[in-house]
Amino acid sequence: MGQALTQSNFQFPNQTDVYKGKVRDVYTLNNGLVVMVASDRISAFDVILPKGIPFKGQVLNQIAASFLDATSDIVPNWKKATPDPNVTVGLKCTPIKLEMVIRGYLSGHAWRTYKSGERVLCGVTMPEGMKENDRFPEPIITPASKADEGHDEDISEAEILAKEIVSVEQWETLKKYTRALFQRGTEIAAKHGLILVDTKYEFGLDENGNITLIDEIHTPDSSRYFYADGYQERQDKDEKQKQLSKEFVREWLMENGFQGLDGQQVPNMPEEFVNTVTERYIELFEKVTGSSFERANTDNIEARIEKNVVEYLNSL
C-alpha cells in the first residue's frame, strides 16, 4: 500500500496565500491562479479523521478533472491543468457560500430526515409513502450554507434570498446549472452501470463576476453512487443498496459510536479498514471513468508534487 499525503507545506512561485480545507490545500498565486492539492485526508461528519487514505487524493483529483472536462459545455469551470495526479491548477474565483446539493433518491441525510418524521428538507416537501433509497419523482435541490468553521447548515431558497447570499438572478442560474450538471452526471454514470444518487456542486464568481463551477464534482467525497444492476430487486426486497460512496465510512463510524457530536471520540481506524477504503475509492474511479487506475509513485509525494507544479508554472 502506498504512502498517504495528510498535509502539505509548499511555497510555489508567486504564492501569496494558502488555505487548508478538510481535504484540499489551496495555494493562491498572484497571477489569478490557484494550485489545489488533493490530500489523502478523509473527513466525515465535518471531522477530519486521524489517518489518511492512500491514493484517495489522486482518485478525487482525477475523477474531478475528468468530469470538469465532460461538463465544460454546460457551465464554465475553474480548471486550467492537472500537472500532477494530486493537483489541479485553475482560476481563482470568489466562492459563493452555498453547497448546491441535488438528490435524485431518498438516501443519506434526506433519508435520516425523512425517517425522523420530517417531510420538508431545505424548504422542499418530500412525498409521503417513500422508503429508503426510493427515487424521487424528480431530483430535489437541498442547499447547504458553507460555514467557515464547523458544520454546514441546511438552508432553504427563501432563506438564501432573504439573507442575500446571492441575487434572484444568480439563484436561478445556480439551479439551472445544478440540474444540468446532475443530468449529465446521471447519463455518464448510467453508461458505466451506475446510478448517480445525489451530489453537491460549488460555484464561485470569476474576476468578471461570472458564475463558475469550482472545486470537485462527481467524486466519492461529493457524491453517492448505486450499482444499477439489481437496484430495483433490492428495493423490492427491502435490501440495502450496493453503493460506491463515502457513506460506508460514515456507517462504520456510527457503528463505532461516532457521529461528530460533542464529546464523542473518533474511533481508531485499523489498517485493514484503511486499505478497504483505498480499494473502494479505486473501484469507484474505475467504475465511474471506465478507465484503469494507475497508482502514482508515492515514495515521496511532496517532492513529486512540487517538481511537477513548479515545472508547469514555469512553462506559463
* Cα–Cα distance, 17 to 65 (Å, whole number): 23
Cα atoms in the Cβ-side hemisphere of radius 13 Å centred on 160: 27
With contact defined as beta carbons under 8 Å apart, do 34 and 18 qualify? no
CA–centroid distance for 140 within its chain:
18
Q: Please give the single-letter amino acid code of residue 167.
A: S
pLDDT in the model for residue 1? 66
Kindly report the CATH number that applies to the domain delimited by 95-245. Answer: 3.30.470.20
pLDDT at res. 149: 59
Structure confidence at residue 2 (pLDDT): 79
For residue 174, the cross-strand partners are: none
Q: Which helix (H) or strand (E) holds 313?
A: helix 301-315
**What are the φ/ψ torsions at residue 253 (nearest 5 degrees)?**
-65, -45
> 10-residue block means of pLDDT along the chain (316 residues)?
90 95 94 96 90 95 96 98 98 96 97 97 98 98 81 91 97 98 97 96 96 93 93 97 85 92 91 93 91 96 97 96
- Phi and psi for 26 in degrees, rounded to 5? -110, 115
Look at residue 245 in the predicted model and tell me its pLDDT: 76
Q: Is residue 232 helix, strand or coil?
A: helix
DSSP line for 123-160: TEEPPTT--TTPEEEEEEE--EEPPSSS--EE--HHHH
CA dist 53 and 35 (Å) reads 21
79 within 8 A of 55, measured Cβ to Cβ: no
Residue 127 region, left (φ>0) first, then alpha (ψ -120 to 50), else beta?
A: beta
Type of residue at 129: G
